Structure 1
Amino acid sequence: MDEMEKGEERGSIRNSPFQIKLPIFIALALVAGVLIGATTFSPSANNPQDTARSYLKYREILSYIDRDYVDTVNIEELSDYAITKMLEKLDPHTAYIPADELAMARSQLEGDFEGIGVEFNIFQDTIYVITPLSGGPSEAAGIQAGDKIVKVDGRNVAGIGITNEGVFKHLRGKKGSEVNLEILRKGSSKPLNFTLERSKIPTTSVDVSYMVDNKTGYIKVSRFSSDTFEEFKQALTKLKKKGLQQLILDLRGNPGGYMDHATRMADEFISGDKMIVYTDGKGDKYDSRTNARTKGDFENGPLIVLIDEGSASASEILAGALQDNDRALIVGRRSFGKGLVQMPIPLDDGSELRLTISRYYTPSGRSIQKPYHGDPEEYEKDMLHRYENGEYFHPDSSLFADSLKYKTLHGRAVYGGGGIMPDVFVPRDTTELSPYLSQLYNKNVLREYTLGYYRDHRKELEKMPFDKFNQNFKVTDAMLEQVLKIAEKEDVKYDGAQFNRSKNLIRNNLKAFIARSVYGNAGFFPVLHESDEEFQQALKQFGRAQHLAKSGA
């Protein structure tokens, strides 16, 4: 993970096909989807007397607790808890964010931040540098991949249970401010000291774009932040200059973000003034309708969109618009099902209420939001239930009932029920997974080995063009033996049968991680896609996508 939450997690775990091949790690990231621009709110006058009575009751009880309860209590903390529990009765995405957590909650959608510019990962209770960000202070100072940050401004940060938030707190700061780092580097007998001046670090949400072959392009969008549309346009323009005729748009693991960037992206693919999305709330105050309105840069060529259970909110708006307008073939698995619009309401103490004020609907009339029955814990177990019910391995037949059937612009059947149902279902590929492989991932054995390999072979690797690396570089048996030695030191018990089952995937991931250290995401993803079943299936579906493009023209 790096300072803007994209590093190891985003680059090589959360948003990559690599994670899709891991055993299930159920950890829902219910990231805020759309944050529309209203900042004031006047309560409805539907039940003024009930509202007044409830308010007075709450105030009275809180006063009695503060004055007469046997023990001293933190009234503010108690009030925050009551608010949080009250909001849980509404829906899973209405939320109260205390003032001290607000900056972190907003940072995921910011286009840049101020810091030292490193991608990092925490393992063995130590901050490891994955890579310095290009053009940032860390790169200029000579910080390298594999460096261990052990002290920041003289304070120990190793072996203290530091979290990602703790790293942000230590490394981020105002532009122009200085930070002192003490670093341990393999091959250096003494710690190294660096003084860096923080600067503004641009972040990206288009992880990678490249030509798969002489006519097929690929663009991966990991979130919809304040710069996403511009990044996407640049990537699309670059690919068109290289001969783009057909495109894979990868929205897997994309938790959403700003809706307008998703709708503007949809407009690049959808011709005329066709509908993209509409919202429906109480009365018509927050109702809206968004249509295509500009001449897009890729309105006619075959288009495939990859989604999975991690695709949410703005990702689902984009995928649903393209599917309902018969513009794209959707490949993968059912998306998350986050279709509620939140309005941010600043409160007097600096905290914020994010209140659901309407629902999203695709052009055919499908509600994106999956069911919620008032139990947040049960709602958060939805992904686990999908796994237990086998939905990751075959489509859930209950979601194909006639009552959930809708029609696209040209009469194709699509289905509601929460989330976007793909046109082509691709099950999770578990053929090469094993408990032994899981332990290698959990102990960070693969990443530790590849950081060391890159450090030891950096000069020769950086002289090699990526095409030559991709064609000629092989992960040898000797390299695998070294991985096994690291695993043994980390108390990962060897299992020959499980190792052989996962060997090809291990080779692929080692090569991908090494490529990432040398070439960044432009090297990482093309290698990873060689063992990515969903990506490979998408490549086989361009015949259907071509037919769809012609019929929708």
Structure 2
Amino acid sequence: MSEYKNTKYQIRLPLILAIGLAGGIFIGATFSESSPVQNDLNKDIQKFKEVLTLVDRNYVDEVNTSDLVEDAISHMLNKLDPHSYYISAKDKVAANEDLQGNFEGIGIEFNIFKDTIVVVTPLSGGPSESLGIMSGDQIIAIDDKNVAGVGFTNRDVQKHLKGPKGSEVKVTIKRKNKKSPIDFEIIRDKIPQYSVDASYMIDDEKGYIKISRFAATTYEEFRVAMIKLKGEGMTKLILDLQGNGGGYMNHAINIADEFISGDKKIVYTLGKETRYNSQANGQRKGLFEEGELIVLVNEGSASASEIVTGALQDNDRALVVGRRSFGKGLVQAPMDLSDGSEMRLTISRYYTPSGRSIQKPYDDMDDYSGDLIARYKHGEFFSADSIQFNDSLKYETLSGRAVYGGGGIMPDYFVPLDTSANSTYLNKLFISNSIQEFTFKYVNDNKKMLEGMDYKDYFNDFKVTKQMRDELASIGKGNGVKPDLNDMKKNQALFDLHIRAQIARQIWDNEGFYPIFNQTNEVLQQAVKLFDQAEKLDRSKL
């Protein structure tokens, strides 16, 4: 099975939306070697060579012809469609890293507080943990170069601490209650990344799984989560794909197959060359072919997420809840170039089992890049009635329900974006890292008490005090955020929820964070009430 990959394509909306948009919404495929350049292209190639040679020889200033060629390639691919693009050799590793299921580095989660790199936690099984680096350690030098108080960014930290497995980096640590700095010689290693962000029981029968992207390890992570939840009594499942920008297509197919019985169609692709045509059908007995299933999507759900959602909707296997998905139905193939760079070229379109192409129009690239903002301004995030579908793009599910192509997947049950639970002051505290700094300090000061608590007791009984909120405001003031105590009082429940969630994450990881944070997830809160509708789906043809 070839692997279909995604890339980076970001569109930002105003902070008030408080939504995760598609961060990686491109899928591709690895195929056999490319066809030879055809003879009728030779004239164009010769013309480009002539221009480049004339520029190199005659232009008034010195030019870097390699940069000119890279710019020309990028511009050429951008003219084709929104998702064909070029990756230079130096950027290739970073571009692929997010989907490989691991990266190579020293193995810490860090944050930057007051211009100082602070270890939030050493990652389990990583080289930093094995050497004894601790939560709260301040990194003041890397390879004997001062990094404290010099304006280091997250990107700078990653640049200096990431590196190939087996390479060495010297990190100088300032530790609380230690007078002298401590030097660590760290041998970098592979550090796992996880794409199943959370899996937990909502109640005695309903399970919840959130997948953030479809990476190389996603399917196995998903199976582990499913087996765990079934062992805890799960008979109904909510699969959360909100904000999931896609990834490897084969992992999306495998996950869909865990829900769909028999050999029903999951997805198919059609390209100009027949070798890019494919069809995926169910192949195995899945882990959850009969229990009630709800899938959550929003405008940030794209690509491989839409493959899973389209397959489950078209086969009447799941109730889809949320808002219209992104609308990305083009498939890219990564093609290696001779200098180590890579071109990702659109080679086919994918179609859901009913025959839908969910790719939205891209005749106007400016309209395409601004589509989500246009949806927001048009009111689509708040009312399903603002969405108009073309009857010529009408299709039917197995049971005869109407579904539409031409631009994303419309949910069976629409949930409007909730902007009422929003605080400008809270947003500023997050952006300034003040929430993170406060909760980190609180956990460090109260670690013994927190680690001695059972999570259920914390979830039910832990209260945020006025003193804690006042200290948060003080830290925010120190980070340049003017206190707005009226906003904090008006939105006290929202502030308290986020503080509790951030504290829980540091003690119980995502399994502690999401049950609290998801109380702000309006799509999930509505979906929990809709299992009676999921039960009513016509499964006579399943």
Q: Give TM class, smaller chain.
A: over 0.9
Q: 1:60 aligns to what? A: 50
Q: 1:5 aligns to what? A: none
| Residues 26 and 533 of structure 1: CA distance in aligned 2, closer, same or farther (over 3 Å) | closer
Q: What amino acid is the match of 2:326?
A: F
Deviation at 1:166, TM superposition (A): 3.1
Kept in 1, the 8 Å contact 2:21–2:243? The answer is no
Alignment match of 1:270 (pick from 248, 260, 271): 260
Report SS of the residue matched to 2:536: helix
Deviation at 1:426, TM superposition (A): 1.4
Q: 1:252 aligns to what? A: 242
Q: What amino acid is the match of 1:31?
A: G
Post-superposition Cα deviations, 1:238-297, rounded to whole Å, max 9, x if no partner, equal: 111111100011111211111001001000000111110011111423111111121111
- Tell whether 2:34 aligns with 1:41: yes
- Tell whether 2:379 aligns with 1:390: yes
Q: 2:4 aligns to what? A: none
CA distance in 1, matches of 2:270, 2:164: 41
Percentage of matched positions with identical amino acids: 53
Post-superposition Cα deviations, 1:304-339, rounded to whole Å, max 9, x if no partner, equal: 111112211111100111011110111111112221
Deviation at 1:174, TM superposition (A): 3.5
Deviation at 1:190, TM superposition (A): 5.0
Alignment of 1:534-553 (within 5 A): 534-548=523-537, 550=539, 553=542
Question: 72-81 or 485-494, which moves further after superposition?
Answer: 485-494
Q: What amino acid is the match of 1:251?
A: L
Report SS of the residue matched to 1:207: strand
- Tell whether 2:463 aligns with 1:474: yes
CA distance in 1, matches of 2:537, 2:98: 35
CA distance in 1, matches of 2:513, 2:19: 25
| Residues 481 and 510 of structure 1: CA distance in aligned 2, closer, same or farther (over 3 Å) | same
| Residues 533 and 157 of structure 1: CA distance in aligned 2, closer, same or farther (over 3 Å) | same
Question: 408-417 or 153-162, which moves further after superposition?
Answer: 153-162
Report SS of the residue matched to 2:44: helix
CA distance in 1, matches of 2:59, 2:20: 38
Report SS of the residue matched to 2:275: coil
Kept in 1, the 8 Å contact 2:256–2:311? The answer is yes
Q: 2:518 aligns to what? A: 529
| Residues 401 and 327 of structure 1: CA distance in aligned 2, closer, same or farther (over 3 Å) | same
Deviation at 1:401, TM superposition (A): 3.5
RMSD, aligned CA: 2.4
| Residues 458 and 254 of structure 1: CA distance in aligned 2, closer, same or farther (over 3 Å) | same
Kept in 1, the 8 Å contact 2:317–2:539? The answer is no
Alignment of 1:166-205 (within 5 A): 166-185=156-175, 191-205=181-195
Question: 214-223 or 169-178, which moves further after superposition?
Answer: 169-178
Q: What amino acid is the match of 1:81?
A: D
Deviation at 1:225, TM superposition (A): 1.1
Deviation at 1:223, TM superposition (A): 1.1
Post-superposition Cα deviations, 1:352-377, rounded to whole Å, max 9, x if no partner, equal: 111100011111121122211252x5
| Corresponding residue pairs, total | 532
Kept in 2, the 8 Å contact 1:276–1:291? The answer is yes
Q: 1:280 aligns to what? A: 270
Deviation at 1:92, TM superposition (A): 0.7
Post-superposition Cα deviations, 1:494-530, rounded to whole Å, max 9, x if no partner, equal: 3344223322111111000000000111101111122
Post-superposition Cα deviations, 1:181-223, rounded to whole Å, max 9, x if no partner, equal: 2234556565443333323222211111111111111111111
Q: 2:399 aligns to what? A: 410
CA distance in 2, matches of 1:464, 1:470: 10
Report SS of the residue matched to 1:304: strand
Post-superposition Cα deviations, 1:170-189, rounded to whole Å, max 9, x if no partner, equal: 21234344322223455656
Q: What amino acid is the match of 1:202?
A: P
Report SS of the residue matched to 1:437: helix
Deviation at 1:122, TM superposition (A): 4.2
CA distance in 2, matches of 1:21, 1:211: 33
| Residues 55 and 28 of structure 1: CA distance in aligned 2, closer, same or farther (over 3 Å) | farther
Deviation at 1:33, TM superposition (A): 3.4
Q: 1:506 aligns to what? A: 495
CA distance in 2, matches of 1:328, 1:181: 50
Q: 1:10 aligns to what? A: none
Kept in 2, the 8 Å contact 1:229–1:264? The answer is yes
| Residues 324 and 44 of structure 1: CA distance in aligned 2, closer, same or farther (over 3 Å) | farther
CA distance in 2, matches of 1:475, 1:20: 31
Question: 542-551 or 19-28, which moves further after superposition?
Answer: 19-28
Kept in 1, the 8 Å contact 2:21–2:299? The answer is no
Q: Output the TM-score relative to the length of structure 1.
A: 0.91
CA distance in 2, matches of 1:134, 1:456: 22
Kept in 2, the 8 Å contact 1:278–1:360? The answer is yes
Q: What amino acid is the match of 1:464?
A: M
User: Any unmatched runs of 5+ in structure 1?
Assistant: 1-13
Alignment of 1:301-340 (within 5 A): 301-340=291-330
Report SS of the residue matched to 1:421: coil
Report SS of the residue matched to 1:520: helix
Deviation at 1:159, TM superposition (A): 4.3
- Tell whether 2:476 aligns with 1:487: yes
Alignment match of 1:455 (pick from 427, 440, 444): 444
Kept in 2, the 8 Å contact 1:328–1:549? The answer is no
Q: What amino acid is the match of 1:452?
A: K
Post-superposition Cα deviations, 1:421-443, rounded to whole Å, max 9, x if no partner, equal: 11111122111213222211211
Report SS of the residue matched to 2:280: strand
Q: 1:4 aligns to what? A: none
Report SS of the residue matched to 1:23: helix
Report SS of the residue matched to 2:471: helix
| Residues 360 and 158 of structure 1: CA distance in aligned 2, closer, same or farther (over 3 Å) | farther
